């Protein structure tokens, strides 16, 4: 019975996307975060839901363009701001560079093209995002969908984590618990900033507070050391941007007091290994710097185009005899002859897409993370600015977590970049309408 109810509900929403592409955008975000196949133990019936929703969303947008008064009906600006346009141009350049790197991939052109296709899908979503999410109301709805979706996902992760179901947590997100932790680092500051929005009712702020609390607990249950460090950095940046720092510190203290009794011995051991001596680290932590050095060695031989997306692991096999000076003998069996990634975004993207790929990626990240939003007098722009600063804190935390993981192809990172641009665009529109 549950199967037919969920199947009917989700596919009805997917086809409604054709009539309302903005609803489709929210729905697509929801199913990307809270994968419906996990609600039915990976039933194949949902296998094409994402593709169908994406196609119908694009068709709905294109059909809507032909309707008279389309944009006035949706109450948004028909064109993104210059900031958003430049972000789209940089992202498009990054996609074009990925295609070029794929054509000249060292080992598998097909693997590189497959990954590039996934990035193209992300670009199309971000393009529609820049067109459809430009008003204060729509930005608010988007934040609600992200917060509730991540809150529900975090409840599931927390349940599995506290029950010791590490294997199930690993299967929730493509890339495993490290990817999940990185996504939560992006979203937690945005959720917590909504708690401080005085324009919201107390009930709404409590809901956001609950989503933030359970999301923080899910980061812990993920066991991702990089995500924990990134989350701490994001919360520190959040505090720097707050006027009510004393209240925020009290709130964080209460959050930590609620979470600490639930921490497992496994988590405490994982976190203590961050600061352990070199000879006391586990294999994962000890091999990470070695993988970075291998990636840099590969980059030195392919500095412009790199070796192609998803080509690092097979290409490293050809470097067995060229990296003996940097790989300890006891690590050879753990690094070579098995699929292995760099466990670091920056050396990984350098090795696979070269210096140009890294520069374009950093341009996207830095423009959004460090774009300045001045203080405003009116509540509307204050609220929007607060949301943007929450997103920026998440991006900065993510940039730290990315030192320890291969997160360059995470959808939500790119969504966050264009969310900052959407806020900038909405603030600009309010200024044109005569806000003080």
Give the tokens for residue 260: 């600490």
pLDDT of residue 69: 40
Q: What is the mean pLDDT of residues 187-202?
A: 86
Is 13 within the bounds of a domain? yes
| 3-class secondary structure, 410 | coil
By mean pLDDT, which of 67-81, 111-125, 348-362 is the weakest? 67-81
Residue 147 lies in a domain: no
Contact criterion met (CB below 8 Å) for 45 and 3? yes
Q: What is the pLDDT of residue 41?
A: 52
- Between 283 and 182, where is the model more confident? 182
Q: What is the DSSP string of 290-348?
A: HHHHHHHHHHHHSTTT-S-TT-HHHHHGGGGGGSTTTS-GGGHHHHSSS----S-HHHH
For residue 123, being part of any structural domain is answered with no
Residue 74 pLDDT level (bands cut at 50, 70, 90): very low
Q: Is the pLDDT at 209 greater than 50, yes or no? A: yes
Q: Helices 345-369 and 82-103 sit at what angle, rounded to 10 degrees? A: 160
Residue 370 sits at φ, ψ, to 5 deg, of: -115, 15
For range 197-226, the mean pLDDT: 85
Residue 16 inside a domain? The answer is yes
Q: What tens digit of pLDDT does each residue of 248-269 get?
A: 666 666 666 666 665 555 555 5
- Report how many domains make up the chain: 1
Is it the case that residue 354 has pLDDT exceeding 90?
yes
**Domain with 42 in it:** 1-65
pLDDT of 276 strictly over 80: no
Q: CB–CB of 263/433 below 8 Å?
A: no
Better-predicted residue by pLDDT, 243 or 343 = 343
Please indicate, yes or no, if residue 307 is contained in any of the structural domains.
Answer: no
Of 381 and 349, which is predicted with more confidence?
349
Residue 42 has pLDDT above 90, yes or no: no
Percent of the chain at pLDDT > 90 equals 36
Asked if residue 140 belongs to a domain, the reply is: no
**What's CA 436's distance to the chain center, in Å?**
34
Q: How much is the pLDDT for 259?
A: 61
Give the DSSP letter of residue 135.
Answer: S
Taking a C-beta distance cutoff of 8 angstroms, is the pair 417, 364 a contact?
yes
Per-residue model confidence as pLDDT tens digits over 397-422: 999 999 988 899 999 999 999 999 99
Type and span of the H or E element at 274: none
Residue 72 has pLDDT above 50, yes or no: no
The two structure tokens encoding residue 226: 């990089």
Q: Which pLDDT belongs to residue 248? A: 61
Q: Which is more confident, 428 or 186?
A: 186
CA distance 229 to 252: 16
**298 Cβ partners below 8 Å, 6+ apart?**
307, 312, 315, 316, 319, 351
Q: Indicate whether 50 belongs to any domain.
A: yes
Integer Cα distance of 53 and 38 in angstroms: 18
pLDDT higher at 314 or 38: 314
Predicted local distance difference test score (pLDDT) of residue 75: 45
Q: Is residue 399 part of a domain?
A: no
Beta carbons of 380 and 435 less than 8 angstroms apart: yes
Give mean pLDDT, residues 229-235. 87
Q: What is the DSSP string of 195-262?
A: HT-TTS-HHHHHHHHHHHHHHHHHHHHHT-HHHHHHHHHHHHHHHHT-S-HHHHHHHHHHHHHHHGGG
Q: What is the mean pLDDT of the chain?
A: 82
Is the full-model pTM beyond 0.85? Answer: yes
Torsion from C-alpha of 362, 175, 28, 415, nearest 10 degrees: -10
Worst-scoring range by mean pLDDT, 103-112, 200-209, 281-290, 299-308?
281-290
> pLDDT tens digits for 5-29?
767 788 888 888 888 999 999 999 9
pLDDT in tens, 145-194: 999 999 998 888 887 766 665 555 666 566 677 888 899 999 999 998 88
Is residue 77 within 8 A of residue 425, CB to CB? The reply is: yes
What residues contact residue 29 under an 8 Å CB cut-off, 6+ apart?
A: 142, 145, 146, 149, 415
Kindly state the percentage of the chain with pLDDT values over 70: 78
Tell me what the mean pLDDT of segment 224-242 comes to.
82
């Amino acid at each position: 019975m549950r199967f037919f109810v969920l199947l009917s509900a989700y596919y009805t929403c997917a086809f409604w996307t054709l009539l309302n592409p903005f609803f489709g955008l929210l729905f697509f975000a929801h199913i990307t975060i809270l994968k419906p196949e996990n609600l039915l133990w990976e039933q194949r019936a949902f296998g094409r839901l994402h593709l169908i929703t994406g196609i119908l969303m694009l068709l709905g947008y294109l059909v809507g363009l032909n309707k008279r008064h389309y944009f006035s009906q949706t109450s948004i600006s028909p064109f993104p701001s210059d900031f958003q346009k430049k972000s789209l141009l940089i992202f498009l350049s990054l996609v074009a560079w990925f295609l070029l790197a794929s054509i000249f991939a060292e080992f598998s052109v097909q693997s590189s093209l497959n990954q590039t296709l996934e990035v193209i899908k992300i670009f199309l979503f971000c393009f529609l995002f820049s067109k459809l999410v430009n008003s204060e109301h729509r930005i608010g709805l988007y934040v609600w969908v992200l917060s509730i979706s991540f809150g529900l996902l975090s409840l599931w992760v927390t349940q599995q984590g506290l029950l010791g179901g590490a294997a199930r947590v690993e299967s929730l997100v493509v890339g495993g618990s490290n990817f999940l932790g990185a996504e939560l680092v992006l979203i937690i500051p945005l959720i917590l900033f909504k708690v401080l929005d005085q324009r919201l009712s107390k009930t709404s702020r409590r809901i956001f507070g609950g989503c933030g609390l359970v999301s923080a607990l899910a980061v812990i249950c993920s066991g991702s050391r990089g995500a924990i460090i990134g989350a701490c950095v994001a919360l520190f940046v959040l505090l720097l941007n707050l006027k009510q720092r004393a209240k925020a510190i009290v709130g964080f203290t209460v959050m930590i007091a609620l979470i600490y009794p639930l921490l497992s011995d496994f988590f405490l051991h994982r976190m203590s290994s961050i600061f352990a001596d070199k000879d006391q680290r586990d294999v994962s932590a000890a091999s990470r710097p070695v993988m970075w050095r291998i990636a840099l060695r590969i980059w030195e031989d392919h500095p412009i185009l790199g070796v192609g997306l998803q080509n690092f692991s097979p290409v490293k096999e050809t470097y067995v005899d060229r990296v003996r000076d940097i790989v300890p003998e006891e690590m050879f069996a753990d690094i070579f002859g098995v699929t292995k990634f760099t466990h670091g975004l920056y050396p990984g993207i350098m090795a696979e897409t070269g210096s140009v790929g890294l520069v374009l990626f950093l341009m996207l990240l830095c423009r959004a993370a460090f774009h300045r939003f001045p203080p405003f007098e009116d509540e509307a722009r204050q609220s929007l600015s607060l949301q943007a600063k929450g997103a920026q804190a998440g991006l900065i935390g993510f940039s730290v977590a990315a030192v320890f993981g291969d997160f360059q192809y995470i959808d939500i990172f790119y969504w966050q970049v264009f969310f900052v641009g959407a806020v900038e665009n909405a603030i600009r529109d309010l200024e044109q309408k005569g806000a003080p």
